[in-house]
Structure 1
Amino acid sequence: MLRGLDIRDMLIIDRLELDFQPGLNVLTGETGAGKSILLDSLGFVLGWRGRADLVRGGAEQGEVTAWFELPEDHPAQAVLEEAGLPTGEELVLRRINTRDGRKTAWINDRRASGQVLRALSETLVELHGQHDDRGLLNPRGHRAILDEFAGTAPLRAELREAWRARSSAQKKLDAARAALAAAAAEEEFLRHAVAELDQLAPEQGEEADLDARRRLMQGAEKLRADVARAHQALGNDGAEGPMNDALRWLEGAADGVEGRLDEPLAALTRALAELDEAADGVVRCLEALDFDPLELETTEERLFAIRALARKHDVAPDELATLAEDLRNRLDAIDNGAGEIAALETALRQADETYAALAERLTAARTEAAARLDAAVEAELAPLKMERARFVTQIEAAEPGPDGRDEVSFTVATNPGAPSGPLAKIASGGELSRFLLALKVCLAGDDTQITMIFDEIDRGVGGATADAVGRRLARLAEDGQVLVVTHSPQVAARASHHWQVAKRVEGDATLSTVLSLTPEARVDELARMISGDAVTEEARAAARKLIATD
């Protein structure tokens, strides 16, 4: 609910603060007094796109602040939470427009974008008038209006989930078909490549092992001669023989030198053990260097085959095994593709059937609700002096989508025998206003969390018709908040709270002001609206009578 509006230096308003109330809030005043400026200012702070030249002449910037009362479950709370902004029982919007056109906005004292303002505004305010292109005049919104009347939200949620499931099934099937087609185009290559890789069967790390073995065998002859000479130098004919002789001689002399040879004997024993270990290692090396020349040829052939295959597929030799597995999987996809596609086609068919059943239920619900809405609107049109008008909700087949397979449009015929057609082409301004009001009355339910604003919706009507308009506006405001800009005394007489918009001249400047009317001042304002500038006692009496019939 809109609780207040503070406007500074906007057009012909220097400073204005309004405290709005629940119920029917009416703003009246002479043409040009500034009533539309109040709506422009409210639209500005809500982020709506409007006129650019809003800053008052001589001022550096204009500023508008609006504050709203929010219940805990108000939809605006979710918008605030998603935007990372503070939530609570009060929402304060402030927006500044500098003379050079720069706009800055705050939401609960946090900087915010116009996009967030507009998202909030959709949960806070509805603006209706004779050029209400967001509602009745826009056929794209007619289906939503009908769904609101029909209460199809749970069914539509179920349908959207079915549409998502259907879309997902379709994407999976399309992807599988595309993958199968791409794989089938290279099937011959895949089979040849897999056979070639399977025949060679390269292993990870094998290329490095083969290369090392090849280099070893290539230098083995020279190396073996050197190692063999070393083995001879270490053996019995080399170092080992004299060392054994030395050990034997020292052991024979040890008893006669009273332990002086114990340490040399121990060292020599250790040296012989180390010498024996070295000789064993040399023998093992000689065995490794003892190869068949045919083995070198075989090793080189496999090494060169692995490297050639790696170059052919533009991968590292160690990646050939992984490549083989990947190509084998692609072949499996071709071999198993028909079965997978059949399963995906079955899943899509089931998703289609689920969606179709829900869409059919939604069409039936809309069709039933359309008949009730048409009857309800026409019942409301009779007191609005349009008893001969016809309101018809047309439902036609449309392309399937997340909201069903229906295209909804409101058509009217204002006189018997006249052709029916879209509201925007058939109804005049006053007729359109009454169609709109009748529709809003029919749609009014328990959701009173949005402020409805009607901008001169009663233009072109008067007398009993204007009185009927006022009664319906008052009915809409019973459990919520409605703001009305009006020139009709019959509508103004229904107000719970009445403000007068007037102009004043200060020096060379024309400024707009808004006054909250006392009961007596309200009588005078209604009398002015009845009789014009010259307010007579008769006009006052008529005004009091209008108020008394409220």
Structure 2
Amino acid sequence: MLRSVEIRDMLIIDRLELDFQPGLNVLTGETGAGKSILLDSLGFVLGWRGRAELVRSGADQGEVVAVFDLPDGHAAHDVLTEAGLPDGEELILRRVNSRDGRKTAWVNDRRCSGEVLRALSDTLIELHGQHDDRGLLDPKGHRALLDAFGAYPVLQSDVRDAWRAMSAARKALSKAETALAEVRKEEDFLRHAVDELDKLAPEPGEETQLDTHRRMMQGAERIRDDVAKALNALGNDGAEGSMGDALRWLEGVSDRAEGMLDTPIDALGRAFAELSDAVAGVETALDRLQFNPHELEETEERLFAIRAAARKHGVLADDLGALADDLRARLHALDQGDADLERLRAELRAADSAYAEAAARLTAARQEAAVRLDRAVAAELAPLKMERAVFLTQITLADAGPDGVDQVAFTVATNPGAPSGPLAKIASGGELSRFLLALKVCLSQQQDGVTMIFDEIDRGVGGATADAVGRRLAALAQGGQVLVVTHSPQVAALGAHHWRVEKRVDGDITTSTVVPLSPEERVDEIARMVSGDSITDEARGAAKALLAG
């Protein structure tokens, strides 16, 4: 609910503070008094597109502050949360327009964009009038309005779920088709590469082992000659034989040397053991240096083949096995591709069918709701002196989407047999206002927490028709809030709260203000609306009769 509006230095408004109430709030005043300026200022703080020049002459900037009460569950809470703005039971919108045209907005004292303001305004205010292109006259919103009237959320949810499933199935199929097409481009390469790598069958670490073995074999002949010479020098014909002979000779005479040879014999024994180990090690090395000349050739061929494969595929030699696994998997996917595609196509056909069935059920529900809405609007048009007019909700085929396959448009024919067409193009000013009011009365139960503003929606009607308009506005305001700018005394008399818009001239300065009316002032204002500038006793009597209901 709109609780208050404060306006400073906007057009011909110097400073204005208004406190609105629940129920039907009416604003009256002479033509040109500034009623449209008030709505322009409210639209400015809500981020609506409007006049380019709003700052009052002589002022540096204009400012509008609007305060709303937000009950639990109000749609504005979601907008605030998504935008990361402070949230609570009170919403304060503030927007400033500087002389150079810059506009700055705050929501609960936090800077925000005009886009966020407009998103909030969609949950806070509905403006209805002859130039209403944001609400009921906008065909883009007619389907949502019909759905709210029809109240079939389960069917809508089913369609959205089916649409998501169908979209996912279509995306999966497209992805698989693209992947398979890419793989087929390299089928020959894959088959050749996999066959080549399978035959090569490289092992991790094999390159290093082959390279080490190759280098050892390349230098083995030279090493073996020196090792053989060393073995001869150390063996039985060399050091080992001589040391053995010396050890036997010393041990043979040690018992007659009075212990003088014990220490040398022990040392020589240790040396002989070490020498034996050395000889054994050299013999082993010499055995390992024995190789088949063809082994070097085979080792080099294997090593060069592994390195060539690594260069060809641009990987390390140790990664050739993993590469082979990857290529093998891609080749398997290619071989299985047609079967996978057929499975995905079957899943898409099933998803398409499920979506078509869900969309058909929603279409049927919309058609039934359209019939009920047309009847409800027709019932409202009769008291508004438009009993011969025809309101028709047209449902035509649209591109499939998450909301179904239906395009909805509200059309009217002002007389039986006349062609029907869009509301904004067929109805005259007064007829359009009454169409909008009748439609809004029928749709009002589907929207909570929104302040409705009707801008001279009673233009062109009077007498009993104006009274019918006022009573429907009052009915809309029950349990909610309606603001109506009106020139009709019948409508004004039905308001729960009444303000008068006044223009004042002080020297060369013209200002507009809005004042709340006491019961006595209200009688005079309605009398003025009845009789014009000259208020007569008869006009006051008529005003009192209207107020008495």
- Fold match, TM over 0.5? yes
Distance 1:210 1:380, change over 3 A: same
For 2:511 and 2:260, the matched residues in 1 are separated by: 128
| Offset at residue 402 of structure 1 (A) | 1.0
| SS across alignment from 1:372 | helix
| Offset at residue 32 of structure 1 (A) | 2.3
| SS across alignment from 2:418 | coil
For 1:398 and 1:261, the matched residues in 2 are separated by: 116
User: Partner residue of 1:407?
Assistant: 407
Is the CA contact 1:448–1:479 (under 8 Å) kept in the aligned structure 2? no
| SS across alignment from 1:56 | coil
User: Partner residue of 1:435?
Assistant: 435
Write the deviation string for residues 514-550 of structure 1: whole angstroms up to 9, x where unpaired. 111111111121122222222222222211111111x
Is the CA contact 2:466–2:490 (under 8 Å) kept in the aligned structure 1? yes
| SS across alignment from 2:49 | coil
Is the CA contact 2:254–2:260 (under 8 Å) kept in the aligned structure 1? no
| Offset at residue 229 of structure 1 (A) | 4.4
Q: How does 1:212-227 map to 2 (within 5 A)?
A: 212-227=212-227
Q: How does 1:390-469 map to 2 (within 5 A)?
A: 390-445=390-445, 447-469=447-469
For 2:7 and 2:251, the matched residues in 1 are separated by: 119
| Offset at residue 186 of structure 1 (A) | 2.9
| SS across alignment from 1:405 | strand
User: Partner residue of 1:296?
Assistant: 296
Across the aligned residues of Structure 1 and Structure 2, the Cα RMSD in angstroms comes to 2.7
User: Partner residue of 2:305?
Assistant: 305
| SS across alignment from 2:16 | strand
Range moving further from structure 2, 145-154 or 158-167: 145-154
| SS across alignment from 2:383 | coil
User: Partner residue of 2:381?
Assistant: 381
| Offset at residue 14 of structure 1 (A) | 2.1
Distance 1:110 1:225, change over 3 A: farther
| Offset at residue 261 of structure 1 (A) | 7.6
Distance 1:251 1:531, change over 3 A: farther
Q: How does 1:62-211 map to 2 (within 5 A)?
A: 62-211=62-211
Distance 1:286 1:368, change over 3 A: same
| SS across alignment from 1:383 | helix
| Offset at residue 170 of structure 1 (A) | 1.1
Write the deviation string for residues 259-281 of structure 1: whole angstroms up to 9, x where unpaired. 9987x888777666665555555
Distance 1:371 1:446, change over 3 A: closer
| Offset at residue 471 of structure 1 (A) | 0.7
Distance 1:92 1:272, change over 3 A: farther
Write the deviation string for residues 291-350 of structure 1: whole angstroms up to 9, x where unpaired. 222111111111222222233333333332222222211221122122212221221122
| SS across alignment from 2:373 | helix
Range moving further from structure 2, 266-275 or 78-87: 266-275
How many residues are treated as equivalent by the alignment?
548
User: Partner residue of 1:324?
Assistant: 324
- Calculate the TM-score normalised by the size of structure 1: 0.92
Aligned sequence identity (%) = 69
Write the deviation string for residues 227-252 of structure 1: whole angstroms up to 9, x where unpaired. 44455555566665677678775998
Is the CA contact 1:254–1:261 (under 8 Å) kept in the aligned structure 2? no
| Offset at residue 415 of structure 1 (A) | 0.9
For 1:400 and 1:457, the matched residues in 2 are separated by: 36
For 1:168 and 1:73, the matched residues in 2 are separated by: 32
Question: Is 1:338 matched up with 2:334?
Answer: no
Distance 1:441 1:245, change over 3 A: farther
Q: How does 1:229-268 map to 2 (within 5 A)?
A: 229-232=229-232, 235=235
Distance 1:280 1:499, change over 3 A: farther
Range moving further from structure 2, 72-81 or 215-224: 215-224
Range moving further from structure 2, 401-410 or 136-145: 136-145
Range moving further from structure 2, 207-216 or 426-435: 207-216
User: Partner residue of 1:491?
Assistant: 491
Range moving further from structure 2, 181-190 or 359-368: 181-190
Distance 1:253 1:349, change over 3 A: same
| Offset at residue 111 of structure 1 (A) | 2.1
For 1:374 and 1:455, the matched residues in 2 are separated by: 24
For 1:538 and 1:235, the matched residues in 2 are separated by: 149
Is the CA contact 1:72–1:88 (under 8 Å) kept in the aligned structure 2? no
Range moving further from structure 2, 115-124 or 222-231: 222-231
Write the deviation string for residues 429-486 of structure 1: whole angstroms up to 9, x where unpaired. 2211111110110012164311111111112222221111111111000010111111
For 1:122 and 1:322, the matched residues in 2 are separated by: 58
User: Partner residue of 1:350?
Assistant: 350
Unaligned runs of 5+ in 2: none
For 1:227 and 1:48, the matched residues in 2 are separated by: 99
| Offset at residue 283 of structure 1 (A) | 4.3
Amino acid at match of 2:179: A
